[in-house]
Structure 1
């Protein structure tokens, strides 16, 4: 990927773009583009290693600020930027926290734009000015949030907060219109469904062995049969996230009883005893439908201080569109918790904190790396659209076998609260924007490849 150059507003010239000598090209250049806005202009060579834009052209292109920019040449046009729009919902009237509780997450994401050499903003459906072909986007500056009008972006990064919002008809229409009418690539286009992902991966020989035995819409007979085989099973909502609505059912042969571990409506970890499976299921699903759930085999995972451990592995595509692992962190379940999620009392640890022995640690990292990359390629091959990141929940059993519990298309970032994972936090945010840079260049030079995804 080419390097970024300082973009500076200049008092020199009129309707002129000055490019460094190092960018000399034999192409006949007559236009400049920022985002999806393209204008005719005069292009001259600069004596400095900076990209200078005459003030009138700078204003006409709606460039939001000076800063590093990448340069892409295609046919008769010089493309500046790229301009990346992050699409979300849940905006407020607050100037300090315009996207509510998620404002800090977006501020941290936008804060890495200069280190990557891109221009990044956050927007929602109501900030789009369809008639003008512009968006009043939220930029994050030293003094806080600022609203600036910019052209439609080169790429949109989807960060809608949940499935309900994602399925809103108006938001679907925005996505469809920007992608189909304006040919803007859209990456991370949707939340994963657990059962659909399982169905895709079970057919792939390279990754099928990572999958626990799983069924959708389980019957009493199916759950009973799996309990006789595995002694415990998990019931999970097919469209769930954050560990909500997950139940672990355990069968005690000695007592002839069934135990269920779950997190109740008050966010308390519960363990309840039932005399029969039927009474257990009828109690748990008195206000919900079993058909919306999957049943998954229980696995005897490695433990720390008698508490279950699983691993969150993030993969991202980089500036070359290639998958790479950006972080691996261990999650240790809270006391009595059915999951390792932090909101249920879970604790984040680095892999070397879990495996003090260097050989054991190296072996675990290698196995988790290999599994996450294989799974990323398999999901990417089958899912329509451009995927830029995946968060995997993986387990290692007592025989050192890797298991996939869940794949998340919009992974949470709670693991980065660990002080030793701050560099990984920064790197993963940079990778999201670097992948947007890759998509921009691909869309400009080979649009048919991107738009077919």
Structure 2
């Protein structure tokens, strides 16, 4: 590895290697030569592929008053792993990207602190915008510039649950593992409750189980449970639909068949599967499997909503790992026909008493897994993908 340097006061990159050889960093940027260091500078070790340093990864985060918001632990781990392999990452917000490059924040593992930094356009952008709303408002400008300069965006967008269902349903084998789903309306809710007896209502654009509701028939009335442990009684389907219509348009919700799955100690649970691409066009594989158990409200297994964590070994029954691996690979390959540079996703999978697997959720931007081994494996998989992709798309300045 070779060193490149950043002038902290002059906010510029340079190198000290004499000679005619050009050194490139990021997209289309030639690192200038200096014959001495300024008063304040920071050194970085880079791996070189021919005369190209990097990769330089731009982590796209949502802005806030302090700078940015997001999975700070993940951002730090990515920089630590990148630094070990001769790369670097800059966390930036949409307004900090221009044709001149990025202005953002770099985490220095040796000093355990962040510094403000300017950098060239990155080789790769890793999209970690925090919410659907942020993507709707801010992603387009980033996407336009990335397209112009041929910068791939990993994890291009959150999944819309209804669009995702239609995409997966179009694959015959995957479709057999999906609960029946429809857009919410008075007609669809009545049909689903009549047919299945119990349903889930989900926001099409949500995460962490936010806005999830469980509804079941109770004689001539209907019980609704929420993740906040509140319970409501409704006398009719019409009143139920009005309840959701008061918060948003009905078509911003889906209604989903409630699948009866195996319980663990009398509680609902599901498998949380973390998935990464195996490499360029090589399919997808499981990085880690966690188990999430619902609390007494029994509506969702998400930990932020009160769910708890157990390990696979805690369960009294075995999971058919080869079957899960095959299903996950099919999902990843099929979704890659709809989304460019899909590098990772997580899946919530349930198991019925007769051994059938059901896909309840796929999430394009997985939350951090609490299991340390899965955190570590996830970081390494992402770094390998960044390096593999950047080596494939080398673009040197002229």
TM interval, shorter chain, is 0.7 to 0.9
Counterpart contact for 1:235–1:296, Cα < 8 Å: yes
How much does 1:100 deviate? 4.4
- Which has more radius of gyration? 1
Distance (Å, rounded) in 2 between the aligned partners of 1:13 and 1:284: 64
Partner residue of 2:143?
175
Counterpart contact for 2:62–2:70, Cα < 8 Å: no
**29, 32, 36: which is aligned to 2:27?**
36
Q: CA RMSD in A?
A: 2.7
Aligned ranges 1:24-423 → 2 under 5 Å: 31-39=22-30, 56=35, 65-69=43-47, 71-73=48-50, 78-93=51-66, 98-100=67-69, 102-128=71-97, 130=99, 133-141=100-108, 142-143=110-111, 144-169=113-138, 171-177=139-145, 179-216=146-183, 218-252=184-218, 255-263=219-227, 268-320=228-280, 322=282, 323-355=284-316, 360-361=317-318, 363-383=319-339, 385-413=340-368, 416-417=369-370, 421-423=371-373
Aligned with 2:173: secondary structure? coil
Distance (Å, rounded) in 2 between the aligned partners of 1:200 and 1:376: 11
Runs of 4+ residues over 6 Å off in structure 1: none
Q: Deviations over 1:119-177 (max 9, x none)?
A: 112112343354xx2323311113200122222111111111111111115x4113211
Aligned with 1:375: secondary structure? helix
Q: Deviations over 1:341-391 (max 9, x none)?
A: 112210112212224xxxx42x433333222222111111233x2111111
How many residues are aligned here? 382
How much does 1:313 deviate? 0.8
TM-score relative to the length of structure 1: 0.77
Distance (Å, rounded) in 2 between the aligned partners of 1:229 and 1:124: 47
Q: Which runs of 5+ in 1 are unaligned?
A: 1-5, 17-29, 42-53, 446-453
Residues 1:14 and 2:18 are matched in the alignment: yes
Aligned with 2:63: secondary structure? coil
Distance (Å, rounded) in 1 between the aligned partners of 2:207 and 2:254: 13
TM-score relative to the length of structure 2: 0.87
Counterpart contact for 1:318–1:432, Cα < 8 Å: no
Counterpart contact for 1:134–1:151, Cα < 8 Å: yes
Distance (Å, rounded) in 1 between the aligned partners of 2:23 and 2:360: 48
How much does 1:55 deviate? 5.7
How much does 1:40 deviate? 9.4
Aligned with 1:444: secondary structure? coil
Aligned with 1:191: secondary structure? coil
Distance (Å, rounded) in 1 between the aligned partners of 2:348 and 2:149: 36
